[in-house]
Amino acid sequence: EDQVTQSPEALRLQEGESSSLNCSYTVSGLRGLFWYRQDPGKGPEFLFTLYSAGEEKEKERLKATLTKKESFLHITAPKPEDSATYLCAPVGPGGSYIPTFGRGTSLIVHP
Amino acid sequence: EAQVTQNPRYLITVTGKKLTVTCSQNMNHEYMSWYRQDPGLGLRQIYYSMNVEVTDKGDVPEGYKVSRKEKRNFPLILESPSPNQTSLYFCASSNGYEQYFGPGTRLTVT
């Protein structure tokens, strides 16, 4: 069974204090891995798709990387508006293209 | 504007009263799915569809039905809602490379 573990569950940072979120997965035959941002009570907002080990993608203060066993979301010099829950979701093989979601990391950035 | 829409956004109903939550996307995506999100449990997939007339069960399909008669629409049907189906529901669509979510429907079953 596919497993996805995100750590830490919660993270508090000061504005400008860079850090990384981890997503470990045991999906065999990975076809891709999604990263999302979710604000309370709202739908997840798509950030990135990574397809192969070694791939990196960036968007503003966020950079996502992928290895064969895990993915990292690096947040550089975060601002309070980066506060949200960040979700990762790997996609396994098969005819469907449906991701399995981790529980998320709740990030709070203090001014 | 590319988007996934859901209606209603909020719904309070009683046990056993059939309801339908609509979902529509304007991106011509083949893949659509429904999720429920509960505190401490994260996002769990209810049903998904790979194309018109092609649907399959996700992780928690019991008590739900779906249909995909048109590419853009993917309604979620609760034939006889029960209190344990009180949750926040999300519809999503994907082209296989990116997945976009709707704004959510908060359902309360009393």
- Mean pLDDT of the residues in chain B: 95
CB pairs under 8 A between A and B: 53
Whether residue A111 lies within 8 A of chain B, CB to CB, comes out as no
Mean pLDDT across B37-47: 91
A75 CB burial (10 A radius; 0-12, 13-18, 19+): buried
Mean pLDDT across B16-29: 97
User: What pLDDT is recorded for position B24?
Assistant: 98
| Structure confidence by residue, pLDDT tens digits, B57-102 | 998 999 999 999 999 999 999 999 999 999 999 999 998 888 899 9
- Mark yes or no for CB contact B98/A104 under 8 Å: no
User: What pLDDT is recorded for position B98?
Assistant: 86
* Whether residue A36 has pLDDT greater than 90: yes
* Whether residue A11 has pLDDT greater than 80: yes
Measured CA to CA in angstroms, residue A63 lies from A71, A91, B68 at distances of 10, 19, 36
User: What pLDDT is recorded for position B68?
Assistant: 97
Q: Determine contact, residues A55/A48, Cβ cutoff 8 Å.
A: no
Instruction: Name the residue in chain B with its Cα closest to that of A5.
Output: B42
| Structure confidence by residue, pLDDT tens digits, A46-104 | 999 999 999 999 999 999 999 989 999 999 999 999 999 999 999 887 656 678 899 99
Q: Determine contact, residues A24/A108, Cβ cutoff 8 Å.
A: no
Mean pLDDT across B3-15: 97
* Whether residue A1 has pLDDT greater than 70: no
When scoring B24, B94, B107, B108 by the number of chain A Cβ atoms within 10 A, the one with the most, hence best to mutate, is: B94
Range with lowest mean pLDDT among A14-18, B14-18, B87-91, B95-99: B95-99
Which residues from chain A sit within 8 angstroms of residue B4, using beta carbons? 43
Mean pLDDT across A13-37: 93
Q: Which B positions 21-40 lie with beta carbon below 8 A of chain A?
A: 31, 33, 35, 40
* Whether residue B21 has pLDDT greater than 90: yes
A37: helix, strand or coil: strand
Pairing of strands A10-14, A105-110: parallel
pLDDT band, residue A6 (cuts 50/70/90) = very high
* Whether residue A2 has pLDDT greater than 90: no
